[in-house]
Amino acid sequence: MSRIPLIAGNWKMHKTLSATRTLLGELQTAVADVDSVEVAVAPPFTALAAAVETLRGGSIRTGAQNMNEAEEGAFTGEISPVMLTDVGVNFVILGHSERRALYGEDDELVGRKVNTALAHDLVPYLCCGETQGEREAGTTEAVVSRQLLAGLAGVQADQAASLVVAYEPVWAIGTGLTATPEQAQQVHASIRALLAERFGESVAQSIRIQYGGSVKPGNAAELMAQPDIDGALVGGASLDAASFAGIVRATAAAGS
Ligand code: PGA
């Protein structure tokens, strides 16, 4: 089964409104002729409306970087799924390692958010990944499967085909260290096997599994050439149109 690769930019806490419009304008031009790769961006909450407006009518998708699991309520500083669909976004990144490590999000909370996102027709990009210590201890696959099983608790097979999994080794995020294509493929294959056990083989074959962690134009092609790597979640290199477009182009070339 061929899956359309998905390259998504996680802008984290970067870009003002004017910088968002500038970057997206440049990006639209830079990837206009690429149609074999799906492209998505996750700007900060304050720039989502501007991003949706700038990208209207085009093929680049807009998503959020986080979301509360409730529809509304007394949750100071939080953003609900209703607010995200109202602004016109299409997906939401959930369980990013920075949310887990810096803001105390645990597997169960991430699972509740995934179910809420699906109930509101937002595509969850469910993040997972081991720390350096967990890799050295040989527990990578155990950690990733624990995160995924909890993150997907309650999700039905017919909802699962649309979701996206992002495997991001914590030691590779923002560090310049990247998993080798072989290391990444090994974990991706184990994730696909877990998805097949959980949802059946045909659903597992349709779920896209992105790699994340210091993806750059120079290392994207060899990662994307792996059979179970279906795209990338890109942090730092997504903040510049030329480097992000370079990753999109390398991905298109790897698939052709
Ligand atoms: P990075 O971030 O590309 O800057 O390593 C990836 C991520 O955190 O999603």
- The string of pLDDT tens digits covering residues 223-250 is 999 999 999 999 999 999 999 999 999 9
In this structure, which residue's CA is closest to atom 6 in ligand 1?
Answer: 235
Nearest atom in ligand 1 to the alpha carbon of residue 236 is 4
Q: For residue 201, report the distance from its CA to the centre of ligand 1, in Å.
A: 29
Nearest atom in ligand 1 to the alpha carbon of residue 97 is 8
Structural domain count of the chain: 1
Question: What is the per-residue pLDDT for 255?
Answer: 85
168 included as an active-site residue: yes
Q: For residue 162, report the distance from its CA to the centre of ligand 1, in Å.
A: 22
Q: For residue 166, report the distance from its CA to the centre of ligand 1, in Å.
A: 11
| Ligand 1 site, CB within 6 A | 10, 168, 173-174, 212-215, 233-237
What is residue 162's DSSP assignment?
T
Positive or negative, the Cα torsion across 248, 49, 68, 198? negative
Q: For residue 214, report the distance from its CA to the centre of ligand 1, in Å.
A: 6
Question: Which listed residue (38, 69, 130, 168) is catalytic?
Answer: 168
Positive or negative, the Cα torsion across 49, 94, 29, 5? negative
Question: What is the per-residue pLDDT for 2?
Answer: 82
Closest CA to 237 of 4, 10, 5: 10
* SS3 label, residue 54: helix
Q: For residue 235, report the distance from its CA to the centre of ligand 1, in Å.
A: 3
98 included as an active-site residue: no
CA distance 135 to 148: 17
Residues of the domain holding 178: 6-255
Q: Is residue 246 part of a domain?
A: yes
Question: Which listed residue (38, 96, 130, 134) is catalytic?
Answer: 96
**CATH code for the domain of 91:** 3.20.20.70
Nearest atom in ligand 1 to the alpha carbon of residue 213 is 5
Q: Nearest 5°: phi and psi at 36?
A: -100, 5
Q: Is residue 1 part of a domain?
A: no
- Predicted TM-score (pTM) above 0.75: yes
Q: For the chain, give the number of residues.
A: 256
Q: Is residue 209 part of a domain?
A: yes
In this structure, which residue's CA is closest to atom 9 in ligand 1?
Answer: 235
- The string of pLDDT tens digits covering residues 40-53 is 999 999 999 999 99
Q: Is residue 186 part of a domain?
A: yes
Low-confidence ranges of the chain (pLDDT < 50): none
Q: Is residue 145 part of a domain?
A: yes
CA distance 126 to 122: 12
CA distance 63 to 48: 8
Nearest atom in ligand 1 to the alpha carbon of residue 215 is 3
